[in-house]
Every structure is written in C-alpha cells, then in structure tokens.
Structure 1
Amino acid sequence: MDYTSIFNNFSFNKENKVPYYIQLSEFIKYSIQNNTLNFIPSERELSSFLSVSRLTVSKAYEKLKKDGILYSKKGSGYFINKDSILFLSSKKTKAFFLINQLIDNLLKEDFSFNDIKNFFNSILSYQEIKSENINIAFIDCNPESYFIIKNQIKKLFKINSHFLPISSLLRNHNNRSILDKISGFDIVLTTKKHYNEIKNHLKNLVTGKDKNDFKRIDNLKFFDEFKLIKVHIEPDPDTLIKIAKIQKNSKKLVICYSKRFAIIVKEYLEKINDLSNTEYLILESLYKTNKGNLFENTIDINQEDKIERLVKNKLEEIDYLIIPAEFKVLEYKDYIYQNFKIDSFNENLLILFERLQKIYSDKIISFNYKVDNGSLILIEDKINEINSKRLKEYIEKGVIDEEN
C-alpha cells in the first residue's frame, strides 16, 4: 500500500500540547504495529506531503530509531525493524534484547569482553555529558514572549532558561555585573527587533576602558563563539485567523502581564480587525501603581474580593478574552519579586487570574508566537557544538578514554 494513503488518515492535533514530532512518531508506530505501513518515506517526501518542517519529520524518525522501531542506512534512509520483540516486550526485556544483540555483534567482530566493557563505560560517560542541561538566557522587552518561546524550545531540547529584561540590561551601568551575568549562560537569545541593539551594547562593554578588569571573561572569545543568537518569531497563523474572525464591535478584554505585550496585541487587532470595545488589564500596572486600566480608582492589590468582583463582572460582559499563550500566571511570581522588589508579595492576585482563566476558557483566544525552523536549527547546532566542546573537555580531563 502506498504511504500516501496511510498518511491521508493523519493530521496534527493543534490543540494538543504534545509536540508534533511525537504525534507523528506515535502514528507511524501504530501503523507499523497494525501492518498498515511497510515503507518509510524520505524526510523530504513526508515533510512535503504533510506540509510540515523537515525538522519535525527528522525528530520523529530519530525517536523511532531510538525506540528500536526504525533503523537507518547512510545515504539510503530509514527502514522498519522487523524484530517483533521490540513491540511486544516490556522495556526491560527490550533493553536486554538490544544490548545482548549488540554484544553478540561486537564479539563477532573479535572485540574482547574487556573492550566492550570499556566501550560501554565511555559511552555512558558521554551520555551523561549530553544529558546536562544547556543554560539559555532570553533578552527581550516582555516576559510573555519569553514564556511562550521557552516552552517551545523545552519541548525539543534539555535547557535551563532565564529571562533578562532588555531595559534592566541597558540601564545597568555596572559593566562587570552585566558581563558576569551573561558569561554564565551557554547561549543568549534575543529577537530580531533587539539583536543589533544588544550586540552593540555588549561589544561596547567588552571593548571599553575597563576591559582589562574582566578577569573571568575572555572578551574576544565571547563574540567569536557567537553566544548571542537572533531568533525570528512571529504570531502563529492560527492566532491571526482567530483574531480576524472576531466579530466587529464585539467586546474584547486583553489580559497580559506587560504593557509591551498589550501594545503588540493592540497593533494586530488594529491591523486585521478593529480596536472598538477593547479594554486591557495589565498585571504589571497593578504591581507598579496599584492601578489597572479597568479600574477608574486606585485599588489596593491586596483587596482581592474587590478586584475579583470587578474582574468577574467584566469577564461576564465580554465576548472574547485575549491572553498570551502559555499564560501560567504563577510563573510570573519570580519575575515580579525580581523587578518590583515587593517585600510582602501576595500571591492571591495571581491565583485569582489563574482560576478565572479556567472558568472563562470558552471565551479565550491565546495569542501565540512561533519560533521559525531556521532559528530552531541554529539553536540545535549551537547545542550540539556545546556538547562536543564538553566532550572534548572531558576527554582532556581523562574522564572519557578517547581511544575507546
């Protein structure tokens, strides 16, 4: 049976939080188990047929290869592994089978048991290196973009991430403090909008009068390694379609954290719909001034009952609630502590918005960004480069025997 007839029955579930490559790998696995798929198309063919990036197909194939369901031949593509035990056995039995099969093949190549043991020790050491998380900083003007992009990247790579507001970076005149902070990350990401501004600012710092004072930082090496990566992001097409479909003159409420994100949403509303009957509730404003755009009078952020009553009434009146994608409000807690230095921080306000978001989910439009595939490939290449460097360092330290 032609593979196209099989994949005609497959479509990505955009509402599902499971990454696309896992959805695809599960469908392929199911099709192989049910004997409906007996041929694996090339990455290019399948990505074209499904109208999805080649990176998605590649990651799906690699996952199936890792699970023992597919194997690859250099220059020929991927093939189905016919060993049914890989599908029918428990994880432990499957692991025993694969390791035993590998050892048998190595013994046939005249390797000794001691050689094989050294191979395994070296490979395990290398895998431990690869499992270490990459430390990534994201510099931007609004934390909403950071949380959206962070969650996209975390689905693909093992990372630790941190948000650095561009305003605090540019206002900080302590060169040592800025460079020390930046040097603690393996990768620094920023958007196209801020890339040149940040790059020039950091270059001025490392080439300034005080450059000899930075003992912990190799200034030239910092830029030679291209630690700063420009990420291209744009609103998800589904988001724009949903906004375009909003009925004219309907009542809209935008709830977000930062004023900058509210401006972004406002610009797209004005561009593809209309701004009439649109109100904004910006959490940042509540913490900065104890006053939000919805409220005519100043309101103490600790008066949860009053705020809840006002917001609930407003949510019942509106037709659409527009919020940032991945808007897990409590994630902003550390950011609020860091930026507003609130001594007695009351989490109840954030809990309130987390709860109301669920109650009025039928009115929600999530404003989502997508990182383009070219940026993801750049990040993946940089992560592979970092892992290779770590491996080299481990070899030099004698942790891994290079000859093995």
Structure 2
Amino acid sequence: MDTALIRKNGIPLYVQVKNNILSDVQSGVRKPGEQLPTERELSERLGVSRNTVSQAYQDLEADGILVSIQGRGTFICDRDDKVRFENRRDLLSKVIDVALEEGLQLGFSIEEFVDIATKRAQQKAALLHDVQVVFIECNREQVEYFSRKLEFGGIHITPLLLEELKDASQKERSILERARLVITTFFHLDEVQQLIGSSQQVIAVSLDPELETIVKVARIPQEKRVGLICKSENFAGKVLNALRQARLEELHVSVHTDADAERVRAFVGSQDALIVSPGRRREIEAYCKRKQHVIEFVFQPDVASVNLLRAALADTFRH
C-alpha cells in the first residue's frame, strides 16, 4: 500500500492507491480484519490529497474489499464471512434480533414472528414490483444501459430520452404520470425538473467512469491511434471529458458516430485500439481484421447515488 505512486504514467492516483491495497490483500501482506490507516494518515504518507485516498477507500468498500465502521475505522473484509468486525450481514442480523426480541415481548411466538415477517417481506416485494420508475438521460447509450444497471429488488426502470421528454407524446406523458420516482443525472437535474414540474419526485445520480475501464484505457500506449465508436456526439463528449479528468488527454482519440456499416469497418481498420459504447464490443470486434484492443467505456452510478435511490424508494412505502 505504501508503494511509491507514479505521477506521469497516465493512471489516476486513486486507481494506483486502490491497486496497491488490492495487491497487499491478495498477497497476504494485509490480513482479513486488519485496520487500515485513516484517510489523513495515508494521504500524508503517500503525499497525495485526502480525496485521492477517500476515493480509493470508497471504491474498495463498494467492491466488498473494505468495510468502514463508524467510530472505529476502515478494515480489510474477511472474504469467508468469518470476520470479527461488523459487516452488512451482521448489521442486518442485529436488526432482525431486535425485532424478534420486541416481538417476543409483545407476546408473539418465534413461529408467529417468522410468519408475519415473511408475509410482510412478500408485501414489500410486491410493492416494489409495482413501483414505476423513469430514468431520463440525454443519450441512448446511457439511458438504456443504466436503466438496466440501476434495477434492483424487482423494480423495473423505464428509460426515457431527454429529447423524448421535451417532445412528449401521449405515450411519454402517460409513462411520467404513472411514475412514482424520476431519476436523472446531476448534469440534467435542473432541466428535467423544469420540464416535469413539481408533480413527481426527481432524484439525481452521479455517474462515474468504471474503474476498470479507466485502467484499460490508461494502458494504451500514447503513440497508438485510438478510435471512439458510439451513437451520439453527446456520449462521445462525456467519454472525452472523463479521459481529461483522468489526465489521459495525451491520447489521440478520433470519434466516429456514423452508423453505416462500411464506414464503421473502414474506421475500425484505421485504428490501433478502439473504445466503444456499452454493449457494442462484440459488434465492433467482428469488424477487426487484425488484433486490436476493443474497450467498452462503461459509466456506473456511484455508491452514494445508489444508496440515495434505495432510500427514496423505501420512502415510497410510507406514503
């Protein structure tokens, strides 16, 4: 974890910090249950900002490598569930224990508690299934991909393009009227709220480039010709902006949004490596006549956004 960071290799510092911690865990240098330095301590030790360490810790926590316990610190998770520290399963068990104890005090038997809890869970599951959620974004690649990515617990999310919202037909208006919740990105929050008014609750999520995607792109030699193939200029702009934020702007990236098969084939043949929008890797690989690296550029909602969405959906149960 204390391995010196390389500042001019194109790989973001937080990615290097994360990879160093992962390496320590996989090699056994860091043991399950071991406490890590605080964000401040590690940032001072490595000579980076605290935000850099915080991002690395958050990503590792989302991946189930670390667990953060309020008031105690950050620890290496036990991958075999024999960890001595609290984790999500432990916390849920404690909640159930409290509910069970209160149920017994109210005069219910354990069997009655199990029956009531099971029926209540089934009711909640049915309610979740009936919840109508709409995800609004400005480009087809992201709106379809993230509508699938954000689904959980049986909730179905209907994708809707921002342009479709602006020119809303009866179909789009009907979808919005039935929606219990509308999701968009922070970039479009104000515009979406203006378009739909105050009739529906709007939740904004933050979409970040997937860590693995950035690492793959960072490994492309700078002298290589890199082609970006996607359906919209908007998505291309988001990818190029993400590369700039990751300090990978020295890569020379050419953009191709034309859907014509022959022009796509010709463009693929002129590039050394290819970046493609989600779901198009196999399609583009079929055009490759030589060995070319094809990378899907994937954005994902951050952990805080997913937790916020879960909380908003839970709140619908109480109304």
Common fold by TM > 0.5 = yes
Aligned to 1:161: 157
Checking the alignment, whether the CA contact within 8 Å between 1:248 and 1:273 is kept in structure 2 is: no
Aligned to 2:193: 199
Percent identical among aligned pairs is 17
Distance 1:380 1:8, change over 3 A: same
Distance 1:280 1:112, change over 3 A: closer
Distance 1:239 1:146, change over 3 A: same
Where has structure 1 moved over 6 Å in runs of 4 or more?
A: 19-23, 105-109, 357-362
C-alpha separation between the residues in 1 aligned to 2:105 and 2:159? 53
Matches within 5 A, 1:4-403: 5-7=31-33, 24=64, 43-44=69-70, 48-49=74-75, 61-63=87-89, 71-72=93-94, 111=108, 116-117=111-112, 119-132=113-126, 133=129, 134-154=131-151, 157-172=153-168, 178-203=172-197, 222-223=199-200, 227-269=201-243, 272-274=247-249, 278-282=253-257, 285-286=258-259, 291=260, 295=263, 310=265, 315=268, 318-324=271-277, 327-329=278-280, 353=283, 356=286, 363-389=293-319
Offset of 1:195 from its aligned partner? 0.9
Return the letter of the residue paired with 1:328: G
C-alpha separation between the residues in 2 aligned to 1:232 and 1:193? 9
Checking the alignment, whether the CA contact within 8 Å between 2:136 and 2:160 is kept in structure 1 is: yes
Distance 1:278 1:112, change over 3 A: closer
Checking the alignment, whether the CA contact within 8 Å between 2:185 and 2:206 is kept in structure 1 is: yes
Post-superposition CA distance 1:208-241 (Å, at most 9, x none): xxxxxxxxxxxx6x34xxx211112232455445
SS of the residue 1:131 aligns to: helix
Return the letter of the residue paired with 2:139: N
- The count of aligned residue pairs is 255
C-alpha separation between the residues in 2 aligned to 1:368 and 1:135? 25
Offset of 1:362 from its aligned partner? 6.8
Offset of 1:192 from its aligned partner? 1.3
SS of the residue 1:158 aligns to: coil
Post-superposition CA distance 1:147-184 (Å, at most 9, x none): 44345433x54321121010111123x5x654422122
Checking the alignment, whether the CA contact within 8 Å between 1:328 and 1:354 is kept in structure 2 is: no
Distance 1:63 1:135, change over 3 A: farther
SS of the residue 2:317 aligns to: helix
SS of the residue 2:192 aligns to: helix
Offset of 1:111 from its aligned partner? 4.4
C-alpha separation between the residues in 1 aligned to 2:303 and 2:287? 31
Return the letter of the residue paired with 1:386: T
SS of the residue 1:190 aligns to: strand
Offset of 1:121 from its aligned partner? 4.6
Distance 1:47 1:146, change over 3 A: farther
Offset of 1:280 from its aligned partner? 3.4
- Which structure shows the bigger proportion of residues in helix conformation? 1
SS of the residue 2:134 aligns to: strand
Stretches of structure 2 that go unaligned for 5 or more consecutive residues are: 1-29, 37-58, 78-82
C-alpha separation between the residues in 2 aligned to 1:160 and 1:382? 15
Distance 1:150 1:61, change over 3 A: farther
Q: Which has the larger radius of gyration?
A: 1
Post-superposition CA distance 1:38-78 (Å, at most 9, x none): xxx87337873359xxxxx9xx9334666xxxx4279x9xx
Checking the alignment, whether the CA contact within 8 Å between 2:141 and 2:235 is kept in structure 1 is: yes
SS of the residue 1:318 aligns to: coil
Distance 1:388 1:136, change over 3 A: same
SS of the residue 1:279 aligns to: strand
SS of the residue 1:139 aligns to: strand
Checking the alignment, whether the CA contact within 8 Å between 1:137 and 1:164 is kept in structure 2 is: yes
